[in-house]
Amino acid sequence: MVHTLVIFDIDGTLLHSNRVDSECFAEAYAACFGREFPTIDWHQYPHVTDTTIFDTVIRQHFNRPANPDDIQRQQDYFVQLLQDRRAAAPHDFREVPAARRTVLDLLNHPGYQVGIATGGWRRPAMLKLRHVDIPTEAMFMNFADGCITREAIIEGVFAQYPDPLPPRIVYVGDALWDVKTTRRMQLNFVGIRLRGDVETLQTAGASHVLQDYRDFAAFERALAEATPPR
């Protein structure tokens, strides 16, 4: 019987790309719209989702909301850049240690279900997951397409799940906005900090923070014990 739904972020949580993906987003915007992208410091935007970030910049530059054609142009160029960069330097885009094995172990365990809730759009997100060979067929997934907030993205995962939801739900993320989102939703949270600076999320209120997934027993304990951020 399923007792825990584990929902993962992607960037910084399952895979790592040293900001190259963010730089590709900015480069795609400049190429498509002829304006310099203002900043890839995502903290500067109202919500850390591709939808909100892109719409915010379009409004700043053109005094109108982003339309479907704008989004299509940005996604097409962005995905092409991601593909080109990964083809040129595949080892620069890697999984967080043992992320793939951990996802597989959870998918094969009768007590867990696995989800993805990321602030990125579906097309680039799926490309990234395929690059590190993380399977998605049995997951409940939601992306930024049509979602303004990260809360809405997570709620989209819940909406896909057959009633009732498991008794325990844990979100796994790497960033301060993940802490803030799960605090607002009162959702159990486990942090991942690949650089080892676990105190970044602990200070923000996370009860459990790991560097990676190499110790699966430690990760399972964190899933069982984690609480909503303070």
Per-residue pLDDT tens over the stretch 142-153: 999 999 999 999
Can you list the pairs that 207-215 forms with residues at least 24 positions away whose Cβ atoms lie under 8 Å? 212/96, 212/97, 212/98, 212/99, 213/96, 213/97, 213/98, 213/99, 213/101, 213/102, 214/97, 214/98
Share of the chain above pLDDT 70, in %: 100
Strands 94-95 vs 4-8: parallel, antiparallel or unpaired:
unpaired
Hey, what are 187's tokens?
A: 């959702």
Distance CA 228, CA 182 (A): 6
The four Cα atoms 144, 145, 147, 150 give a dihedral, to 10 degrees, of: -10
Helix (H) or strand (E) holding 192: strand 188-192
The band of 30, judged by pLDDT with boundaries at 50, 70 and 90, is: very high
Q: What is the model's pLDDT at position 18? A: 75
Query: Rounded mean pLDDT of 54-64?
Result: 98
pLDDT tens per residue, range 173-217? 999 999 999 999 999 999 999 999 999 999 999 999 999 999 999
- Tell the CATH superfamily of the 4-16+94-225 domain: HAD superfamily/HAD-like (3.40.50.1000)
Query: Rounded mean pLDDT of 67-93?
Result: 96
80 pLDDT more than 90: yes
Hey, what are 36's tokens?
A: 């310099």
Chain-wide mean pLDDT for the chain? 97
Share of the chain above pLDDT 90, in %: 96
Q: Residue 41: how many CB atoms within 10 A of its CB?
A: 8
The band of 2, judged by pLDDT with boundaries at 50, 70 and 90, is: confident
Cis, bond preceding 164 (omega within 30 deg of 0): yes
Q: What is the model's pLDDT at position 211? A: 98
6 pLDDT more than 90: yes
Please choose, from the candidates 143, 141, 137, the residue with its C-alpha nearest in 3D space to the C-alpha of residue 108: 137
Distance CA 166, CA 113 (A): 9
Max CA pair span of the chain: 53
Q: What is the model's pLDDT at position 56? A: 98
Q: How far is CA 98 from CA 22, 70, 171, in A?
A: 23, 37, 18
